[in-house]
């Protein structure tokens, strides 16, 4: 599928989702990040680990990259499509 068409379809799905008042990302299969305070983060839609250290963990979600920065970071569990990050999370950034 051409990139423009893909972006058009994604945009249309997002509009439909917001019109139906559904949570963002439900129809577009985007990654979901659930933060529990700054101690734990569950990432759904995780495709793989790009970088891993105690201060920085970068996860690929397909359409974007999520960067977790903090101290004593560890991957508590990793399974196809889901990862749980544990430690002192100082910031969460998205890279497109």
Partner 1 sequence: MFLIRLLRFLLGYVRFEATGVFPERFINLCSYNGIKIWSILRRKDGISAYILAKDYRKLREIARRTSVKPRVKIRHGMPFVLRKFKARTGLFAGAAAACAIMYGLSLFVWNIQIEGAKNVDVAEIEAVLKNIGMVQGVRRSEVDTEKIRHELLLSMPELSWAAVNIKGTSAVIDVSEAEPTDTAKDDTPCNLMAGKDGRVISVDVYKGVSNVKEGDAVVKGDLLISGVVDHLNGMVSFLHASGQVIAETESELSVRVEFNQTKMVRNGKSETRRVLTFFGVEIPLYLGSVKGNYELELSEWEMQIDGVNMPVKINSGKFYFTDPVQIVLSEQEALSSARTQISELEKSKYGGMEIVSREEVVQYDENGLTFTVKYLCRENIAIQESILINETD
- Encoding tokens for residue 68? 């977790």
Smallest CA-to-CA distance from 89 within 3, 76, 21 is with 76
**Identity of the residue, 53 or 91, whose beta carbon is nearer to partner 1 in the bound complex:** 53
Task: For the chain, give the number of residues.
Answer: 96
Q: For residue 5, give the DSSP letter.
A: H
Q: Write the binding mask 17 to 56 for partner 1: x where contact by CB under 8 A, - elsewhere.
A: -------------------------------xxxxxxx--
- Residue 75 CB, nearest approach to partner 1 (Å): 4
Q: Rule CB under 8 A: which residues touch partner 1?
A: 48-54, 73-80
């Amino acid at each position: 599928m051409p990139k423009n068409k893909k972006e058009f379809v994604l945009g249309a799905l997002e509009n439909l989702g917001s019109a139906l008042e559904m949570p963002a990302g439900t129809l577009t299969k985007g990654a979901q990040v659930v933060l529990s305070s700054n101690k734990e983060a569950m990432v759904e839609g995780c495709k793989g680990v790009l970088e891993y250290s105690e201060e920085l963990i970068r996860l690929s979600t397909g359409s974007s990259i999520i960067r977790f920065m903090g101290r004593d970071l560890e991957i508590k569990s990793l399974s196809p499509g889901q990862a749980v990050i544990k430690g002192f999370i100082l910031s969460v950034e998205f890279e497109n």
